Amino acid sequence: MVALHGQADQLIYRLIKLYSDKKLSITFSFPCFSSVYFFLCFKTMAFQSFLINLASFVDQYFLRDADGRARILPVFGILPSMLLNLHRLHDACTDNLETIGETSYLIKLPWFVKMDIYGTVDPDDIHHIMSANFANYPKGSEMKRIFDVLGDGIFTSDFESWKNQRKLARLLLNHKQFHRFLVKTNWDKVEKGLIPVLDHVATNGLVVDLQDVFQRFTFDTTAKFVTGYDPGCLAVDFPDVEFANAMDRVEEAIVLRYLLPDFVLKILSWSRIGIMKTMKKAYATLDSEVKKYISMKREELSKRKKQNDENGEENEEGMDLLTSYLKEGDNTMGMIFDEKFLRDTILNFMIAGRDTTSSALTWFLWLVSTHPRVENKIREELQSLIIKPSKDDDEHGKFRLFQSDELKNLVYLQAALCETVRLYPPVPFQHKTPLHEDILPSGQKVHPNMKVIISLYAMGRMKSIWGEDSREFKPERWISTQSGKIKHEPSYKFLAFNAGPRTCLGKDAAFTQMKCVAAAIIHNYSVRVVDGHDVHPNASVILYIKNGLKVRISKRWQ
Q: How far apart are CA 382 and CA 401, in angstroms?
A: 10
Q: Does 143 map to a domain?
A: yes
Q: Kindly report, residue by residue over 261-288, the tens digit of the pLDDT.
A: 666 667 776 766 656 677 888 999 999 9
> Binding site membership: which residues?
504
Q: Does 297 map to a domain?
A: yes
Q: What angle do CA 334, 336, 340 make, to 5 degrees?
A: 140
> Binding site membership for heme: which residues?
504
Residue 419 near residue 406, CB atoms below 8 Å: no
The CATH number given to whatever domain includes residue 427 is 1.10.630.10
Count: domains in the chain: 1
Q: How far apart are CA 557 and CA 525, in angstroms?
A: 8
Q: What residues make up the domain containing 374?
A: 7-555
Span of 13-22, 57-66, 96-105 with lowest mean pLDDT = 13-22
Quick one: pLDDT at residue 76? Answer: 58
Q: Does 376 map to a domain?
A: yes
Quick one: pLDDT at residue 53? Answer: 54
Q: What is the CA radius of gyration of the chain?
A: 25
Q: How many CB atoms lie within 10 A of CB 546?
A: 16
Q: Mean pLDDT score of the chain, rounded to an integer?
A: 83
Q: How far apart are CA 313 and CA 365, in angstroms?
A: 45
What is the band of 349 on the pLDDT scale with cuts at 50, 70, 90?
very high
Q: Does 233 map to a domain?
A: yes
Strand ranges, E, within 363-466: 429-432, 438-439, 445-446, 450-455
Quick one: pLDDT at residue 79? Answer: 61
Q: Does 50 map to a domain?
A: yes
Most confident of 88-102, 143-157, 206-220: 206-220
Q: Kindly report, residue by residue over 242-256, the tens digit of the pLDDT.
A: 999 998 888 777 766
423 CB-near residues (< 8 Å, 6+ apart):
363, 367, 460, 461, 471, 473
The residues with which 406 forms a beta bridge, in sequence order, are none
Q: Kindly report, residue by residue over 320-343, the tens digit of the pLDDT.
A: 999 999 988 766 777 888 999 999
Quick one: pLDDT at residue 73? Answer: 58
pTM of the model: 0.84
User: Cα–Cα distances in Å, from 521 out to 88, 198, 362, 450, 524?
Assistant: 30, 9, 12, 45, 5
Q: Can you tell me the mean pLDDT for 166-184?
A: 92
Q: Can you tell me the mean pLDDT for 429-456?
A: 93
Q: How many CB atoms lie within 10 A of CB 53?
A: 12
Q: Does 2 map to a domain?
A: no
Q: Does 141 map to a domain?
A: yes
More confident residue, 207 or 391: 207
Helix axes 195-203, 507-524, angle to 10 degrees: 30
Quick one: pLDDT at residue 100? Answer: 73
Q: How far apart are CA 12 and CA 122, in angstroms?
A: 35
Q: Does 1 map to a domain?
A: no
Element (H, E) at 527: strand 525-529
